[in-house]
Amino acid sequence: MRIVHRVGVQDSAAHMVDVEMRVSSDVPLPSPLVVTMAVWTPGSYLVREYSRHVEAVSADTLSAQKTAKNTWSVAHDSAQEITVRYRVYCNDLTVRTNHADATHVYLNGAPTFLAVAGHEGAYEIEIDAPMAWRVATPLPAIHGRRNAFRAADYDELVDSPIECGEHDEHPFEAAGQKHRYDVWPKGALSTTHAENLMRDTRMIVDTEAKLLGGGLPHDGYTFILHLSSRGRGGLEHNASSTLIAPATAPHTREGWLDLLSLVAHEYFHLWNVKRIRPAGLFPYRYDRENYTRLLWWFEGGTSYFDWRVLRLAGLCTEEEYLDHLAAEVAYVEQTPGRNAHALEEASFDAWIKLYRPDENSSNSTISYYRKGEIVNAMMDVEVRARSDGKSSLDAILLALWQRYGSKGVPVPEDGMQSIFEDVSGCALGDLFDAWVRGRRDLDYSTFARVGLSLERVTKGTAAISARLSSSAGRVGVSSVARGGAAHRAGVDPGDELISIDGRRVDSTSLDSALAGKNAGDRVEVIVSRDGRTHTLSLDLDGARLDKVRLVPNKDATPEQIALRAAWLQT
- The answer to whether 449 touches 382, Cβ cutoff 8 Å, is yes
Q: Please, which pLDDT band fits residue 506 given cuts at 50, 70 and 90?
A: confident
CA torsion sign for 358, 363, 365, 367 is positive
Q: What is the pLDDT of residue 511?
A: 80
The region, left, alpha or beta by phi > 0 then psi within -120 to 50, assigned to residue 516 is: left
- How confident is the model over 509-552, as pLDDT tens digits? 778 889 899 999 999 999 999 999 999 999 999 999 999 999 99
Q: Which residues contact 257 (CB under 8 A, 6 or more apart)?
A: 310, 315, 316, 320, 324
Q: Give 345-383 pLDDT, tens digit per residue.
A: 999 999 999 999 999 999 999 999 999 999 999 999 999
List pLDDT tens digits, range 10-51.
Answer: 999 999 999 999 999 999 999 999 999 999 999 999 999 999
List CB contacts of 304: < 8 A, sequence separation 6 or more. Answer: 372, 373, 376, 377, 380, 393
CB 223 within 8 A of CB 184: no
Backbone angles phi, psi at 500, to 5 degrees: -130, 120
* Mean pLDDT across the chain: 96
Nearest-angstrom CA–CA distance, 399 and 388: 19
The DSSP output letter for 435 is I
Instruction: Return d(Cα 367, Cα 354) in angstroms, integer.
Output: 7
